[in-house]
Amino acid sequence: MRQLLGVQVLGVGSYVPENIVKNEDLSSLGCDPEWIVQRTGIRERRHAPPEMATSHMAYAAACAAIENAGIDVSEIDLIVVGTFTPDMPTPSTACILQDRLGIRCAAMDVSAACAGFMYAMITAAQFVRTGTSRRALVIGADLLSRIANPDDKKTYPLFGDGAGAVILGAGSEEQGFLSYTLGSEGEGGELLCVPGGGSAHRLDNQSLAAGQAYLHMDGRSVFKWAVRVIADSIGDVLTHAGVTADEVSLVLLHQANVRIIDAACENLGFDREKIVINLDRYGNTSAGSVPLVLDEAYQAGKIRRGDLVLLSGFGAGLSWGTTLMRW
């Protein structure tokens, strides 16, 4: 458990592709629309067009956050992008984004899958707190329609494409991360992974034919792990901060599965009205998930200065990041 104060969110933004893919549109692949809703809560998701890459979504979300913060793009001196679907292995998506924004600054990617935005935000916040960054642009973005296997009826309907962003700057000593935890259980890595494309298993005709370029997931095991890690990490964060569930203003969880969210909230005793859900419209967007739901809540006027906002991302690694913020 750690604390990181003196940091605030100056602006938020998000982006999703225009193309809406409803459950009914997946019927031709053999997916049962009602099964998808009953098992996940997902009714539709967004898929990017062929010419769009992760950096394009990140750029759109970044521009929205910069405008919302009321700053000039030249003020940004650090970019941290959480993604595990980069445009290419190198250069980083953050460097591609930095060039597109037309600025010169430090830029790097953080790979923690569905916990990617949480890892990226905590990383950037430490730069801000130490005074080595004045305006940090933090983005969570993933283009999962490119790595989800359309022949895997149990996983393909779960994922969508999207990006979200925040601008971080120095805040008062009352603002920031009252408590946070980052963690991983690498022994569960094979439960949710893309086995091909790295130095261990390069992509060739054989590995492509075996589907190693696609996301592989043991859904049942990941579900059980997620319910446990959410309850444990949120419970630890609240205890460390000396805050009860009733005192939390808003709960923003990774939008993976409504049953995971429901189970976690029931275990922790959160009022259902404090939980923001948008996975019915976007599905699981991995690193884009938490900032997407954060922007939606902010734009709806659900977050005010001084509010206690709980955020949690969890997924492949197996990794998680959970924090209680004073906005």
- Sign of the alpha-carbon torsion through 311, 113, 66, 54: negative
Residues 23, 68, 278, 284: which is the catalytic one?
284
Q: Is 267 a catalytic residue?
A: no
Task: Yes or no: say if 279 and 72 are a contact pair by the CB < 8 Å rule.
Answer: no
Active-site pick, 114, 257, 265, 278: 114
254 is annotated as an active-site residue? yes
Contact of 82 with 140, CB cutoff 8 Å: yes
Strand partners, 193: 216
Amino acid symbol at 173: E
Compute the distance between CA of residue 321 and CA of residue 114 in angstroms, rounded to an integer.
Answer: 9
Question: What is the side-by-side strand order in the sheet with 319-326?
Answer: 2-5, 176-184, 319-326, 308-315, 250-253
CB-CB contact of 176 with 5 (8 Å)? yes
In whole angstroms, give the CA distance from residue 61 to residue 163.
6
- Which of 23, 254, 257, 265 is catalytic? The answer is 254
- Token pair, residue 166, equals 């925040």
Provide the 3-class DSSP secondary structure of residue 132.
coil
Element (H, E) at 224: helix 219-241
Any catalytic annotation for residue 114? yes
**Which residues are marked as active site?**
114, 254, 284
